[in-house]
Chains A and B, each alone.
Chain A
Amino acid sequence: MHSFEFIRPKDAAAAVSAAAQAKTAQQGAEVRFLAGGTTLVDLMKLNVETPTQLIDINRLPLDTIEATADGGLKIGATVRNSDLAHHPVVQRDYAVLSQALLSGASTQLRNMATTAGNLLQRTRCVYFRDTAMPCNKREPGTGCSAITGTNRMLAILGTSEHCIATNPSDMGVAMAALEATIHVQGPNGTRAIPIAEFHLLPGSTPDRETVLEPGDLITHVTLPPAAATGGATSRQVYLKLRDRASYEFALASAAVIMTIADGSVKQLRIALGGVGTKPWRSPEAEAALLHQPANPANFRKAADAALADAKPQSENAFKVELAKRCLTHALQMAATA
């Protein structure tokens, strides 16, 4: 691990101004905010992350969960994944989020990992984690080792010829379905970023994963009121398929929020995990199923629409069918819940 200066700022403004000195907030950043550490410390040990300054935000007052004025929920940046998953309002109104969080990692890691940290979780692509190998995300311009190498776990949606790294988050997939908003305090004030606009596709700059700029500190995330997704009439399901039953990243996952009335789909949100380069909302699948009769044939049609643009690599063609079955089954679970 490279050496660094350890800084404990007195407030969020001090954290922001310290971080604003960096040239980038993306891969290669000289300044990093330290929250749970489950991604950052891991990657610092591998010399994939080499910050010269580490700003500990764990003591800042960013760890509360509160109702918002409009009936939604405000989740602090350093709220631990386990606290969020077990929060009574999350369990009641945003069950898909609770299920997604509890399907991720282990209890130990969920006790450490934070809301903001999870949004910034880095890919598990083995080439990204290995400094001996070319990787456009870690070292722009060196090439993608995964496209011609080991790519079984990697993405089939949103990829480019420069990068096929999967976004590994479960929480982010549920938040994409819930249309969460990410609130950032930066050198020029605060701003709110819809989650759909927060993560970037790799394109020709896979080292840029989010819209964050130097000094940008995620302070909290808000969820819209439960009524926006059907309230108590909706059914929420997060289904995750993986190589072992627990403590493993998704090969494919699906977040579904669905309201059925008189046998047809009245409201629908669909997002996929384990297959995309970012938490993958699927408007195509939603359009295919909304206002249609809720039956297995239509669920499958929605799944076909979700994966229509899938681009499998040499080792992960199985993911196309797996993701379709995952979504079909999740819709079926939601319909019969």
Chain B
Amino acid sequence: MKRLSILCCLVAALAVARPARATVHVVTSLQDFASIADAVGGKRVDTFALAKGYQDPHFVEPKPSFVLKLSKADLLIVAGLELEIGYLPPLIDQSRNDKIRPGAPGYLDASNGCDILEKPTGTVTRAMGDVHPFGNPHYWLDPDNGRIIARSIAARLTEIDPSGAAEYKANLATFEAKLSEGEKRWDAALGPYAGTQVVTYHTSWPNFLKRFKLVAAGYIEPKPGIPPSPAHTVELINMMIEKKIPVILMEPYFDQKTPKAVAEKTGATLVTFIPSVGGVPEAKDYVGLFDYDVKLLVDALAAKKGKP
């Protein structure tokens, strides 16, 4: 009896000494949001990204295995602006998880509060290509928006897991400091090339270009989501030669055939730019993504235009 009492006391003491802390399960549509959630949530969260960083985020397949992840999620972070419209709505429905439905605390549209570009004005039709009626969804490629996303995630994690508020606040401060240091590096590296015109494959980079004062002179795609046509490619080549465009930026998930041909004709350097964390092993986290891309771009511009 005495032994039993001692055992009970030990169990009770352990229970008091180590209060159970449930991990917050975070599912994100993009690895970028998972990276920021990892930074802000620290050890209190685990994350899973539906789309890999090297995959086209417009065409993610709604696999049943994702239902398992979503069914256990406490927080779902999406890009919004209809980027996930082709796969996420049916998965949320099938998850049987009310916590992550739009409007619930566990559903976070990361675009809220961010600087969203290319919002169409006037009539929007699919004659304009695969256009997003609420604006360009590649907004996370501006570190200023990354800061806003991190603050949104910290606020939402605090709402879901109030006992972790102090930890989330401290982690957010650390993330913001790291991001600010990164911004100084990136501004210094790209500053000398302000105003440079570039060509990109898809309209994936308006936020990146605006943030670093670069200009998109044209696109390999004639319209968003529409593959390059011969007539458009000829026009693009002529424009690039005339304007002496030094660089073509392309995402890793498109065919290189046309961009390579355009680069050969115009003398521009073709740079495979990474749009998301995990796109290459070096882009391990959100800050690392910009470190990787900025270095690629600076090296290409320096080779064409000379070092500042």
Chain B binds chain A: no
Interface positions of B (Cβ within 8 A of A): none
